[in-house]
Amino acid sequence: MIRSPPNVSEIWAIGDANGRGAFTHTSYNDHEIVAANLFDGDHRSVADRITAYGLFIDPPLGRARERSETQGFMKIIIDAQSERILGVAILGIGGDEIIHSVLDVMYADASYTVIQRAMHIHPTVSELIPNMLGELEPFN
């Protein structure tokens, strides 16, 4: 739940006021959590949220090879034992859109192999994610 100040019932803080991410998407998610708690009896909480950020600039800082561009990067961290995705960073054209396919796997608490083995439409930037996952290397 989103409450402020702590331990005061019936007082809810969303958006910039709760200190949980000053972004439109986090504020909107705050509203969804409050509404679910108040009207649906669903005990959702910001503690369950996976932090996600997007940087929207023009022109993009990096681009994907799929679009005949060669600059940019995708990095992902996987727990070797559980095969769960711990974090990902995508810098390049379409990164703000394709990050959602990774977020969905993270929310499902599923193995990275779910997205690695999925068929992605060609030509798209998202099809580069399974390629990246096929080239994982141990982190020392």
User: 60 in a domain, yes or no?
Assistant: no
Instruction: Look at residue 8 in the predicted model and tell me its pLDDT.
Output: 66
Please tell me whether residues 94 and 118 are part of one structural domain: yes
Token pair recorded at residue 30: 């705050």
Are residues 79 and 45 part of one domain?
A: no
The answer to whether residue 138 is domain-embedded is no
| Token output for 47 | 């503690």
More confident site: 117 or 96: 117
* CB contact at 8 A, 85 and 75: no
pLDDT at 63: 60
Q: Locate tokens 């995508």: which residue?
A: 90
Q: Which residue has the higher pLDDT, 84 or 99?
A: 84
Which pLDDT score, from 0 to 100, does residue 57 have? 67
Query: Which pTM does this prediction carry?
Result: 0.72
| H/E run at residue 85 | strand 85-91
CATH number of the domain that residue 124 is part of = 3.30.390.30
85-92 average pLDDT score? 89
| Domain presence at residue 140 | no
Q: Decide if pLDDT at 1 tops 70.
A: no
70 and 117 assigned to the same domain: yes
What does the pLDDT look like over 93-107, one tens digit per residue?
788 888 889 999 999
Cα separation, 91 vs 73, whole angstroms: 5
Q: Is 38 in the same domain as 70? A: no
| 16 and 76 assigned to the same domain | no
The yes-or-no verdict on residue 6 having pLDDT over 70 is no
Segments forming the whole domain that contains residue 14: 1-49
With 50 as the cut, is the pLDDT of residue 115 above it?
yes
Asked whether residue 69 falls in the same domain as residue 129, the answer is yes
> What is the distance between the alpha carbons of residues 66 and 108, in angstroms, rounded to a whole number?
28
CA dihedral sign of residues 127, 52, 111, 104? negative
Q: Is 56 a domain residue?
A: no
Task: Give yes or no: residues 40 and 75 share one domain.
Answer: no
Instruction: Report whether 130 contacts 115 (CB < 8 A).
Output: yes
Task: Specify the number of domains making up the chain.
Answer: 2
Neighbours of 136 (CB within 10 A): 13
Kindly state whether residue 83 falls inside one of the protein's structural domains: yes
Query: What is the reported pLDDT for 62?
Result: 40
Q: Is residue 45 part of a domain?
A: yes
Express each pLDDT in 10-69 by its tens digit. 777 787 777 777 778 888 889 888 899 889 999 888 888 888 877 666 645 446 445 566
Residue 44 counted as domain residue: yes
